Amino acid sequence: MSTKLVEAPANDELNALIDAKFTAFREGSIINGTILDIRPQVVIVDIGYKSEGVIPSSEFEDEDIEVGDEVEVLLERLENDEGMVVLSKEKAAHKQNWDKIVKVYEAGGLVKGKVKSVVKGGLMVNVGVEAFLPGSQVDVIPPKDLTEYVGNIYEFKIVKVNDERQNVVLSRREVIEAERAERRQRFLQTVVVGDKVTGIVKNLTDFGAFVDLEGMDGLLHITDMSWGRISHPSEMLRIGQAVDVQILDVDRDKERVSLGLKQMTDNPWADIEAKFPIGQQVKGKITKLLPYGAFVELERGVEGLVHVSELSWVKRITRPSDVLELDQVIEAVVLGISIEEQKISLGVRQLEENPWDEIEARYPIGTHISGQVRNLTAYGAFVGLEEGIDGMIHVSDLSWTRKINHPSEILKKNEDVEAIVLSIDKENQRVSLGIKQLDNDPWSDIDGKFKVGDIVKGSVAKIASFGAFVSLEGDIDGLIHISQLSEEHVEKVKDILKVADEVEARVIKVDKIERRIGLSIKAVNYTEDQLEKESKSFETLRPSGDLVGLEQAFNLAAAATTTDEEWSPSAEGEEEKKGE
């Protein structure tokens, strides 16, 4: 029997086999190892290589390990300066997690993670690897305080991965918006008008509030918040408040929902006419004061308006705040109701008798009254008859003979005067008075006082460009036209006469209807024939121009005191307007 000897491989072949085995260990790869020894600083791990590997003990701080346990490690280096294999358990986990993150990112999936800390611009999150969550992506509405998220676990969408920099950017907002979109669709498919739902006030604007209804934003308009009047939604709601509302309208195409809060309670206006009939006396609290009136709350959701004109029969109230205060409880009378506009008109003055109702009985036309001048205006004087009731004396009713341009020419404020009641307008609350009516009209018997041809004396009262006015007996004025001052041509009246000059003149015209007396200085020594001729010549002057009625002439005289321009019919018209 022969024995066949097997020849051992050559040394170079053996080395090749060993190298082939160890080349399976590639740096940067993840392999399994067995714990051989646990030391204070390092843990010795056998990976089946020619030498053991070492891992810092700090990488096992959160784990209970024993000799013989198997672990997955990352082969960092096959040999360090001490001939040991350098391994890392943490980096193996990081690499595995990174690969998972990349796969989730590519698939568009979600990943869970725990918020570790607040950093500049956002949060750091552990999702197996460290990832950044920008502040704008934390929630639908960027939060004011990021620290409230630290330590919490959430689901995130991976929005960016950078292999080179090993950066991961997350978004929680996109996850929330996707969930809201899904809930919104479910809500729109199931909700119907009339449903009562609960939501959270998300935002307040001047025109209403947006309410979150499980991902669906509904608009609660300010007009649907209360049956009463409110100025701003913040008077009833606050952000974050839970509120029960009713669905008023659903637009599934535009994904819009209209909500109502006042519809959750009975409409107080439904039987408003029965509760507050016209003429009924009511009581309420003032909720708002405006320049035109005061709003009064009669019951919750029902307000009435007291217009400023309905506060007093006689007092002149400029603003309601002059006599009323907020939260003041007042009594009033219902004047009118508009159910469509949900308005109630109230009056306070109706609680008292209207002094104008019996005004005609207290001040019959023709009554002689006395009172104090309360105010002067361009067109007349107001005289107090009783508290809150004035009578007015128009400038045209101050004198029979004088043209008064302003009542201050003969009256003063606070002066006591006597007058006659001329007329009463109850509807417009006006009493017309007259002073000249206290005396007889001197023009009524003017024919017995002045005749053509009479020689009269008087003093110059006013100078005008067209003539001079002379005060005659009986408080009557006559006009000496410029053409009647002298036989010679006169350029300016003031060259011949001055105010207060005493003059003697002859009456050449008496017109009772037009209330005018024409005088002439140059005709004082005329014979009867000359006077007749001059009178006829005077008649040919234009009534609307050279010879005017005293009312018009006095207007012109007032203008002539400040200007020396030639008088004309157009000037007369302008002065008439000023007189009015």
Partners of 425 in beta bridges: 430
For residue 541, give every residue at least 6 positions away whose Cβ sits within 8 Å of its Cβ, in sequence order, or none.
481, 483, 547
Residue 287 near residue 320, CB atoms below 8 Å: no
Domain ranges, ordered by start, for the chain: 22-92, 108-176, 191-264, 272-351, 359-438, 444-579
Residue 213 above 80 pLDDT? yes
Q: What is the CATH number of domain 22-92?
A: 2.40.50.140
Question: What's the CATH number of domain 191-264, 3.30.2080.10, 3.40.640.10, 3.30.70.360, 2.40.50.140?
Answer: 2.40.50.140
Mean pLDDT of 458-482: 88
Which of 27-41, 197-211, 262-276 tops mean pLDDT? Answer: 197-211
The rounded percent of the chain whose pLDDT value lies above 90 is 24
Residue 44 near residue 36, CB atoms below 8 Å: yes
pLDDT grade for 365, boundaries at 50, 70 and 90? very high
* Domain 272-351: homologous superfamily in CATH: Nucleic acid-binding proteins (2.40.50.140)
Judge whether 359-438 and 444-579 match in fold. yes
Containing 576, the helix (H) or strand (E) segment is helix 569-579
Q: What is the CATH number of domain 108-176?
A: 2.40.50.140
The rounded distance, in Å, linking the Cα atoms of 200 and 238 is 10
pLDDT grade for 447, boundaries at 50, 70 and 90? confident
Partners of 243 in beta bridges: 199
Mean pLDDT of the chain: 81
Mean pLDDT of 203-218: 88
Mean pLDDT of 1-16: 50
* Domain 444-579: homologous superfamily in CATH: Nucleic acid-binding proteins (2.40.50.140)
Give the pLDDT confidence of 109-134 residue by residue, as tens digits. 888 888 999 899 898 888 877 889 89
Q: What is the DSSP letter of 519?
A: E
The rounded distance, in Å, linking the Cα atoms of 303 and 287 is 9
Tell me how crowded residue 554 is: count the other CB atoms within 10 A of its CB: 23
The rounded distance, in Å, linking the Cα atoms of 380 and 407 is 6
| φ, ψ of residue 224 in degrees (nearest 5) | -105, 15
The rounded distance, in Å, linking the Cα atoms of 445 and 447 is 5
Mean pLDDT of 358-385: 90
Among the residue ranges 76-85, 257-266, 545-554, the one predicted with the least confidence is 545-554
Residue 383 above 90 pLDDT? yes
Question: What's the CATH number of domain 359-438, 3.40.718.10, 3.40.30.10, 2.40.50.140, 3.40.50.720?
Answer: 2.40.50.140
List alpha helices for 191-310, DSSP H.
272-275
Give the pLDDT confidence of 243-288 residue by residue, as tens digits. 999 989 988 888 889 999 888 887 888 788 888 999 999 999 999 8
